[in-house]
Amino acid sequence: MKKQDKKSEPKGSPKKRKTTPKKSNEDVGGEEGSGKNFNFYWIYAVVGVLLLGMILLNSDSGGDEIQFSAFKIHVESGDVDHVIHDGRVYKVFLTESARGQLSNDDDESNPVMKGLFSGHDLWFSMPPGDSYTDDYKALTDSNNIDSKYEPVNEWGQQMFSWIFFLVIMIVVWMFIMKRIGGGGPGGNQIFNIGKSKAKLHQKGDNTQVTFADVAGVDEAKEELEEIVDFLMKPDKYTRLGAKIPKGALLVGSPGTGKTLLAKAVAGEAQVPFFSLSGSDFVEMFVGVGASRVRDLFKQAKEKAPSIIFIDEIDAIGRARGKNANFSSNDERENTLNQLLTEMDGFDSNSGVIIIAATNRADVLDNALLRAGRFDRQIYVDMPDVNERKAIFLVHLKPIKTDKSIDIDLLAKQTPGFSGADIANVCNEAALFAARKDKKKVGHTDFNEAIDRIVGGLEKRSRVISPGEKKTIAFHEAGHATVSWLLEFASPLVKVSIIPRGKSLGAAWYLPHERQITTTEQIFDEMCAALGGRAAEQIMFGKISTGALSDLEKVTKQAHAMVTVYGLNERIGNISYYDSGGETSFTKPYSEATARIIDEEVSKIIEKAYVKAKEILSANKSKLVEVAEALLKDEVIFKADVERILGPRPFEEEEVGVKLILETDQVADPKAVQVADTKADQVADSKEDQKSDPKADQADNELKSE
């Protein structure tokens, strides 16, 4: 039992040193003990002391300084034994009797130093001039004093200066190598500059994120869960002849949860997980990027099966330039070539799965996107109303909320918000509640957080003249009135004339999240956007610069109607939109067509402006009431507008209808088939709606100035 207890004790433990000191000494001299009880810098200290002692023992200092006249007296008294000089300094060595008498006269002399030092007793400097030299020579000759000439021996000082210089150079070299090599000990990390910088997550690491923490991206999560399941249960798939996908590319807008999905894979997968950024391959030295790619895959193959995650792969995966002299980067292309070879080259790469993320899939090289390298391209889209609700449920778990929270309404109030935006909303709401010393977060705090993120910070201190404030009130009242009286305009939430961010006022809407948009719907949105300028023209007979954002929006919408969606009769069913993202220095239409496009865009905008003025002219009294309510309260809500304008004469379109039915909740097989058909139709319509920012502006229903 005693032997077993001794074995179980950790090496070098305090208890072990106390009971078995002999074993403790062995531990100290071992690998662990030497690092704790012996400091290597003591060797440097000993070497420094030895060098200093050599310099002191070889130094010219020592003895007492005297004048030449005193030297004459010592010579005439017979106290001088011999003299050694270098032509400038004369070292006087006394006789034994004279030296003893000198020591007795010097009460402050240190016997220890006298014992260590056995050099000259006195010294003097010869005054300049030949007369003194002649007197010295005559004096020594007449008294039979041995005078010997010896040049100065400065080997100690010279050696110290060289050693000191070398030490400084070594320290500087170690510092530079340490900085270049990434801060490794001893500065030898310069030799690891071509090594991979990937972080390894092993099985059993305390990874916080799992698939349960990811919401709103069910399709993408299902794809990655299948990869993880394949790694954990390969027989389930291989018995049917299936092969694991070699790579998965996550594509989506910023903040949609691509990196979060990768973290969930790292938390769920029971295999080594390497994570790094695309910029980690970029270095100032030639060939480093390709070397790091080779080292990364070498490590991954040694630990296969394993997963490699490369975030922002567009940093190294951009399309290679066709012209070597224009827009090309040889080092980046060499890194990409090495990555392509490692992913699917001559040598097999079984057991290593590549997961990458980017929001710039349009700039990636085609060779990188082909099957065999990235077998799956997973599009992580912006969440819809139901997905936003699921995301809110995840982020509301750590927040203390009261019973006033309406998650369905929050999901409808945040169209166009990504998962990161929703997380920011929850955090801002908690900050607003803490600022007011609340014990729980309420729905009003979330409303303030949404307004803060969308419109910016309130600036009640901004100086606005009464005339400007009246203009702003009628401008916002025009937006509210026109949108309320148009069938396809977005439902109004509230109107405010409080400056927020760069805007002096804003009308807040709850836009419809349509999958397809008709010409009438876009036109009504344009009329509502021009209602502010139309109200200024009707009430004051003049217009202002306050409609800048409105004009920018309607211009983009009208231009998209004509050139992108083919919604103009004169231009016809033609779209000049290039979904491939090919950049061109020339327009895809002639100058005559460009003139027609400009004319048609202007006609559409003017038609919407005329209709907005007609609506406001017919309801001028109600427009004035809305503006006066704004001037009085600064913020009015939907109920206030409904009290003034009456109920909307149109049935409001339901927001956030779930189109895809859950198959496990449908009992009838025919209903399942209908649900699948609807899902396919929605997916096709979403694919048709993918466009560039110009096209997205035409579909944007959110009105905020």
pLDDT in tens, 477-517: 999 999 999 989 988 888 999 888 888 888 888 888 788 89
Tens digit of each residue's pLDDT (9 = 90 or more) over 658-688: 332 332 333 333 333 333 333 344 334 444 4
Identified catalytic residue from 333, 342, 476, 536: 476
Gap between the Cα atoms of 87 and 273, Å rounded: 78
DSSP secondary structure of 461-522: TS---HHHHHHHHHHHHHHHHHHHHSSSSPPEEEEE-S-BTTBS-EEEE-----SS--HHHH
* Cβ-contact 272, 201 below 8 angstroms: yes
pLDDT at residue number 527: 95
Query: Token pair of 90, please?
Result: 């004369």
Percentage of residues in the chain with pLDDT exceeding 70?
72
Helix or strand or coil: residue 91? strand
Q: What is the pLDDT of residue 183?
A: 47
Q: What is the average pLDDT score of the chain?
A: 77
Per-residue confidence at 211, pLDDT binned at 50, 70, 90?
confident
- 547 vs 684: which has the higher pLDDT: 547
Arithmetic mean of pLDDT, 219-246: 86
Look up tokens 């209903």; give the residue.
Answer: 671
Of 73 and 528, more confident = 528
Instruction: Using the predicted structure, report yes or no on whether residue 302 has a pLDDT greater than 80.
Output: yes
What integer pLDDT is reported at residue 61 of this predicted model? 53
Does the annotation count 642 as an active-site position? Answer: no
Place of tokens 């027609």: 596
Q: What is the pLDDT of residues 326-341, one digit of tens each?
A: 445 577 888 888 888 8
> Which residue carries 């948009």 as its tokens?
517
* Strand bridging mode 80-85 / 635-637: unpaired
**Which of the four pLDDT bands, split at 50, 70 and 90, describes residue 285?**
low
104 or 236, higher pLDDT: 236
Contact between 51 and 160 (Cβ < 8 Å): yes
Provide mean pLDDT across the span 346-358: 81
- Comparing C-alpha atoms, which of 244, 331, 349 is closest to residue 291? 331
- Residue carrying structure tokens 């100086």: 463
Residue 209 phi, psi dihedral angles, 5° rounding: -90, 135
The sheet with strand 80-85 has its strands ordered as 64-65, 122-125, 89-94, 80-85, 146-149
- In the DSSP assignment, the letter for residue 657 is -
**Judging by DSSP bridges, how do beta strands 80-85 and 146-149 pair with one another?**
parallel
Confidence band (pLDDT; 50, 70, 90) for 581?
low
65-87 average pLDDT score: 80
Q: How confident is the model at residue 246 (pLDDT cuts 50, 70, 90)?
A: confident
Predicted pLDDT at 214: 87
Q: Are 589 and 597 within 8 A, CB to CB? A: yes
Task: Name the band, by pLDDT with cuts 50, 70 and 90, for residue 623.
Answer: very high
Query: Does residue 430 have a pLDDT over 70?
Result: yes
Query: Which whole number is the average pLDDT over 86-108?
Result: 72
Query: What is the model's pTM?
Result: 0.64
Higher pLDDT, 682 or 38: 38
Res. 695: pLDDT tops 50: no
Per residue in 189-210, pLDDT tens?
555 565 666 677 776 566 678 8
CA distance linking residue 641 with residue 654, whole number of Å:
20
* Pair 525, 557: CB distance under 8 Å: yes
pLDDT band at 105 (very low <50, low <70, confident <90, very high): low
Q: Kindly state the tokens that stand for 300.
A: 């991954």
**Number of C-alpha atoms within 13 angstroms, CB side, residue 255?**
13
- Give residues with Cβ within 8 angstroms of 230, minimum separation 6: 236, 237, 244
Q: Which H or E run contains 433? A: helix 419-435
Residue 126 scores a pLDDT above 50: yes
Q: Which residue has the higher pLDDT, 170 or 24?
A: 170
pLDDT over threshold 70, residue 535:
yes
Examine the pLDDT at 582 and tell me if it is beyond 60: no
Nearest Cα neighbor of 513 from 695, 653, 697 is: 653
